[in-house]
Amino acid sequence: MAIKNFLKMHTNDTNKILDELTSFPNEGIVRVSISNLISDIRWEVVSIINKRSLNLWKRRLSSIGWSAELYDKEFFLNLWAFDFEKNDSKFKIPVENVQSVLELIRPKIPDFIESWPDRELREELSEEILTWFQETPILTDDEVSKLTTFYTWTMFDSGYWMSKTRPILSLYIWRYFSLNWNKEILKKIFKSNIIHKISLKECEVGKTTKWIYIWSNVIAASDLIYE
């Protein structure tokens, strides 16, 4: 189960995140996770109840979206990557090859990594149902097809991901998108009790006024939206 413990603050500086990851002399392997996420709707930070946290009987809010699909592993295999998780852009790699990964996704993501959040939007808004929180999906397929997004920025974070045997040092690459909207669809999105607007004050304390904890990828989005 993936449980994150924070090391330092997130950053959009590849040099800072590289320095952080290489500052642990006993860590020779880094787990990499690349995600496409929604940062905001109409310049308001938004989040969704994280379905994985519900497996732990907890409620946490994370950004809408999740792991980017990986269409071709060859580039990463040449960097001695291993332990790929299904078709997702999640894998382990020697720490000395992390710089090559960071250089790869800046300034433009390559075509062998999923570069848009559309698939995850469809899954989370029109296909999935969170038991106890909703009886029907938030939107229909047709409504989701009317949503558009545009890329805004990339943030990096590090932490420990808990494997079945031990914590593993991890690099999180979050590619953020702003969600365009129309009035009627927006109304339906915010009517749902699994979608939450997040204020600057809530991000600063790391939890909502209803004491729901906020995942770090939401807090990272707020840094640029509310700066």
Q: What is the mean pLDDT of residues 161-166?
A: 70
Answer yes or no: is pLDDT of 43 > 60: yes
Two tokens, residue 168? 């593993």
- Spatial neighbors of 115 by CB under 8 A, at least 6 apart, are 36, 68, 109, 175
What was the pLDDT predicted at 23?
85
Q: Which domain does 176 fall in, by range?
A: 5-225
Tell me the pLDDT tens digit for each residue of 87-114.
999 999 999 999 999 999 887 899 999 9
Which comes out higher in pLDDT, residue 39 or 5?
39
pTM above 0.75, yes or no: yes
Please say if the pLDDT value at position 2 is more than 50: no
Which amino acid is it at 164? Answer: K
pLDDT at residue 155 tops 90: yes
How many domains would you assign to the chain? 1
pLDDT bucket at 132, cuts 50 / 70 / 90: low
* 77/110 Cα distance (integer angstroms): 15
Statement: residue 77 has pLDDT above 80 = yes
Helices (H), 63-140: 74-77, 98-105, 118-122
CA dist 171 and 152 (Å) reads 20
Instruction: Extract the tokens encoding 32.
Output: 């990499």
φ/ψ of residue 203, rounded to 5: -65, -35
Query: When comparing pLDDT for 6 and 125, which is higher?
Result: 125
Cα–Cα–Cα angle for 101, 114, 65, rounded to 5 degrees: 100
In this predicted structure, the answer to whether residue 38 has a pLDDT above a threshold of 90 is yes
State the pLDDT at residue 5: 42
Residue 210: what pLDDT? 86
Using an 8 Å Cβ cutoff, are 7 and 171 in contact?
no
